[in-house]
Amino acid sequence: MTALTAETTAPGPVPEGAGSVQPAEFREAMTRFATCVTVITAHTGTRPVGCTATAVFSLTDRPPTLVVSLAAGSGTLRAVRAAGGFAVNVLSWQQRALADRFARLPAERRFDQVPYDTVEGAPLLAGTVTGAVCRVADCVPLDDHVLVSGRVLHTRTREDLTPLVHFARRSSPLESCV
C-alpha cells in the first residue's frame, strides 16, 4: 500500500462504471466490518428524534471531533442541521432492542418510554456504554448520505457495560466477536 504524502497526489475521481463490485456483493462484504451500534439523536425543538447508525468514527482529538453518516433525506439529519448539534449514543448489549426501535419504528414513536437527558441541547440516552454530545462543524454530501462532523462538547462513559456490536448481520455482545 502506498501512503499519500505531500510529494504525491491522490488520483482523480473514479470514472462512472469503473470497478466490478455489485451493490449486493459490497453490502455482504461490509457485514464483516464489526462496528458498535449507535443511536444518533437530536432535538427538533418540539421533540427528540433519532436513528440507528453504524457509520460513526472519531476524526481527531485536536479538537475532539466525531463523524456520522446519515441518509440525505432522513428526518434525523434535518433535525441535526436545524439544531446545530447531535448526540452519539453507543448502545450496550442490554439495549439491543433500542437498535431495532430506532431503525424501524415511525419517528414519532422511537422515544416512547426511552429515558434520556438533554445535555447541551441534545438527547443523551440513559444506560449507554458511552455518549458524546457534539456541535455540528460541517456537513459533506456524498452520494445518498451526508457526513456530519461534530465538535465534541460533552462525553459520558460507563465502564461496567458491554457494547452492542453488529457483525455478519447479527447483533452481539463484544465478547462473542473475539
pLDDT tens digits for range 26-78:
888 877 677 889 999 999 988 999 999 989 999 999 999 999 999 999 999 99
Strands 130-142 vs 35-36: parallel, antiparallel or unpaired: unpaired
What secondary structure letter does DSSP report for 92?
B
Question: Grid coordinates standing for 82?
Answer: 436545524
Residue 145 neighbours by CB distance under 10 Å:
17
Residue range 142-168: average pLDDT? Answer: 93
Residue 149 neighbours by CB distance under 10 Å:
17
As to burial, measured by CB atoms within 10 angstroms (0-12 exposed, 13-18 middle, 19+ buried), residue 124 is buried
Domains within the chain, CATH numbers bracketed: 35-177 (2.30.110.10)
Residue range 96-105: average pLDDT? Answer: 95
